Amino acid sequence: MRTQVGIVGAGPAGLLLSHLLARQGIESVVLESRSRSYVEQRVRAGVLEHPTVELLREVGLADRLDREGMPHEGISLRFDGGDHRIDFTDLVGRGITVYGQQEVVKDVIAARLADGADIRFEVGDLTIDGVTTDAPSIGFADAEGRRHELRCDAVAGCDGFHGVSRGVYRPAVYDREYPFAWLGILAKAAPTQNELVYANHDNGFALYSMRSPEITRLYLQVPPDTDAADWSDARIWDELQTRLAADGFTVNEGPLIEKGVTGMRSFVAEPMRHGRLFLAGDAAHIVPPTGAKGMNLAISDVRVLSDALSTWLRTGDETGIDTYSERCLRRVWRAEHFSWFMTSMLHNFDPESSGVAGFDGDPFSRKLQLAQLRYTVSSRAAATSLAENYVGLPYGAAL
């Protein structure tokens, strides 16, 4: 088999890269270890930055997004028993859209298959070779167990944190694990309000969000070793009502569709290029979900990578591929900082709540946290900084 770009992973990064390359006349093959039904139903991020939405519109992938997405013009920070709205539209003139990652994946798969794209699901035993030569290749077994070799000009590693791509070389790794996790639920319950609520409470952080006019997505801060099975539905709702309490606000309750625990970490691998292997998305970086940056960073990566690869393959100009890692990492580290800022400002670092003794669980740190929250909601400059980072800095902005 032969193609120009071999793409490992059919998440948002890999699929969108294939679409962007095709628009510039570049062939690709996408290889995915999971089934199509799995990747289309995998619930992940739900907040699309303004630049992400604009890009999806530009490349013809926003028809359903524009019909079903939920535009938001702000968020609320809830602490000290009060609610404080950050008005994105007033502060920076743009907002976000709530639209699930799995919905983006469905849209891109449908568009790619309609164009005759080669997307191979349920492949196994994947290997990547020759990336430091001019003839890289990807070996894999198809769903029937037959062995194949895909020869290509470049390999895009879009296979996530646990994929094989990053193991091909030894990048420098910058890593931080947080002493808590999120217990997340999907509930068949109409949202109480139409914007996200980030709550800082003595019991721990809580997030109120939604996926549709009928489905809410909610999270509770829990110790990292939490077993979701130990939390009954009644206990979850009681704790959500407690942490999200505010005058005139009640969490609508309903049957749980999904329940699970997600660890919290920050991770960056540098550089994001090794020879003709290019990492994108979670294969290269992870952010705690507090800042809503994960999928948006992946999309930003492949926007840069698609232009770099197409220019190189069409003209031989290597400037774009040579600067790919540096350009992406500037945005990655800005997002890492913002995600760390939101996480540090909103979570309870008390040892008894976090489950890890000695991690900033002192009254002094708690006072600093509340001081930052109060400043953020009382200073227009501080609120503007939060807003412009949350809705997404424009592509090409000096970072």
Give the active site residue among 178, 198, 208, 219.
198
Q: Is the pLDDT of residue 361 over 80?
A: no
Mean pLDDT along residues 70-88? 95
Classify domain 5-71+96-174+265-340 by CATH number. Answer: 3.50.50.60
Backbone angles phi, psi at 198, to 5 degrees: -105, 115
Q: Is 136 a catalytic residue?
A: no
The chain-wide mean pLDDT, for the chain, equals 94
Mean pLDDT throughout 84-97? 97
Q: pLDDT for 363-377, tens place per residue? A: 787 888 999 999 999
Given 72, 201, 274, 347, the catalytic residue: 72
Q: How confident is the model at residue 5 (pLDDT cuts 50, 70, 90)?
A: very high
Q: What is the percentage of the chain residues whose pLDDT exceeds 90?
A: 88
Top pLDDT among 314 and 81 is at 314
CATH code of the domain made up of 178-264+350-391: 3.30.9.10
Determine contact, residues 54/47, Cβ cutoff 8 Å: no
Residue 175: its H or E element: strand 172-188
Transcribe 305-364 into DSSP letters: HHHHHHHHHHH---HHHHHHHHHHHHHHHHHHHHHHHHHHHHS---HHHHS-TTSS-SHH
Checking if the pLDDT of 353 tops 80, the result is no
Our answer to whether residue 106 is catalytic in this structure is no
pLDDT exceeds cutoff 90 at 349: no
Sorted by sequence, the CB contacts under 8 Å of residue 326 that are 6+ apart come out as: 271
Query: How do residues 266-318 score in pLDDT, each as one tens digit?
Result: 999 999 999 999 999 999 999 999 999 999 999 999 999 999 999 999 999 99
Kindly indicate the confidence band of residue 359, based on its pLDDT and cuts at 50, 70 and 90.
very low
Active site residue 293: yes
pLDDT of residue 171: 97
* End-to-end alpha carbon distance in the chain: 41
What's this model's pTM, rounded to 2 decimal places? 0.94
Look at residue 126 in the predicted model and tell me its pLDDT. Answer: 96
Give me the mean pLDDT over the 111-125 stretch: 96
Asked whether residue 143 carries a pLDDT value surpassing 90, the answer given is no
- pLDDT score for 187: 95
Domain boundary assignment for the chain: 5-71+96-174+265-340, 178-264+350-391
Q: What is the pLDDT of residue 16?
A: 98
Q: Which of 12, 19, 289, 324 is catalytic?
A: 289
Q: Catalytic residue, from 208, 219, 324, 390: name it.
A: 390
Q: How far apart are CA 304 and CA 327, in angstroms?
A: 8
